[in-house]
C-alpha cells in the first residue's frame, strides 16, 4: 500500500484539497485499496477546524465532498508512517525538514515538483483564488499518481 500525506500550513485549504482530489483519482482508477491518503498541517492554529469554505465550495463544484475532515497536525512519527510527504510550498517543505530533522529517505517533495513546471501552490487563504489552487492541485495530483502507480 502506498501512503501519501499532503501537508500545508493550516490543513484547511490546499492539503485537504489535494487529499480529496487524490482520493477521487485513485478511486476512479480502481486503485483505492492500494493507497492510504491523508493531509495535515505544519502549524497548530487551525487544528480541529473544518475545511475552509472556499475549498469546500470549489471541491463541491467538482462533486467532491470533504465531510468529516478536520485539520490535524503533522507529527514526527509521520515520517516513518508515510511513503510520500507532499508539501504545497517551500515553506511547508522547510517546516517538515525541521520537524523530521531532514529527509534521509527522500520522501519530502512539493506537489508540483512532479510536474513539468515545478513551483509552489499559492495559498488561497491569501489569494482568494480557489480555482487556480484547484487547477494546480489537480495538475500535481495527476503527475504524482503517474509517478507512484503501483
Global pTM?
A: 0.97
* 101 is known as an active-site residue: no
Tell me the average pLDDT of the chain: 97
Q: Could you give the CA distance from residue 87 to residue 100 in angstroms, rounded to a whole number? A: 13
CATH number of the domain that 22 lies in?
3.40.50.2300
pLDDT digits (tens, 9 = 90+) for 35-57: 999 999 999 999 999 999 999 99
Q: How large is the greatest C-alpha to C-alpha distance in the chain, in angstroms? A: 39
Predicted confidence at residue 150, as pLDDT, reads 63
Active-site position among 14, 24, 56, 110: 14
* 73 is known as an active-site residue: no
Mutual angle of helices 130-148 and 53-61, in 10-degree steps: 60
Q: Which of 134, 135, 83, 74 is nearest to 109 (CA)?
A: 83
Please, which residues have CB within 8 angstroms of residue 45's CB and are 6 or more apart in sequence?
A: 10
Active-site position among 78, 89, 123, 136: 123
The domain total for the chain is 1
Portion of the chain with pLDDT greater than 70, in percent = 99
* 14 is known as an active-site residue: yes
Residue 149 pLDDT level (bands cut at 50, 70, 90): confident
Q: Which domain holds residue 26?
A: 2-148
Amino acid at each position: 500500500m502506498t501512503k501519501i500525506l499532503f501537508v500545508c500550513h493550516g490543513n484547511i485549504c490546499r492539503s485537504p484539497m489535494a487529499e480529496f482530489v487524490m482520493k477521487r483519482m485513485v478511486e476512479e482508477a480502481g486503485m483505492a485499496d492500494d493507497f492510504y491518503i491523508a493531509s495535515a498541517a505544519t502549524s497548530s492554529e487551525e487544528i480541529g477546524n473544518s475545511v475552509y469554505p472556499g475549498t469546500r465550495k470549489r471541491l463541491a463544484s467538482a462533486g467532491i465532498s470533504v465531510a468529516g475532515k478536520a485539520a490535524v497536525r503533522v507529527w514526527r512519527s509521520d515520517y516513518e508512517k508515510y511513503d510520500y510527504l507532499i508539501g504545497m510550498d517551500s515553506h511547508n517543505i522547510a517546516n517538515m525538514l525541521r520537524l523530521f530533522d531532514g529527509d534521509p529517505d527522500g520522501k519530502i517533495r512539493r506537489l508540483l515538483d512532479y510536474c513539468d513546471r515545478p513551483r509552489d501552490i499559492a495559498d488561497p487563504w491569501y489569494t482568494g483564488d480557489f480555482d487556480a489552487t484547484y487547477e494546480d492541485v489537480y495538475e500535481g495530483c495527476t503527475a504524482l499518481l503517474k509517478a507512484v502507480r503501483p
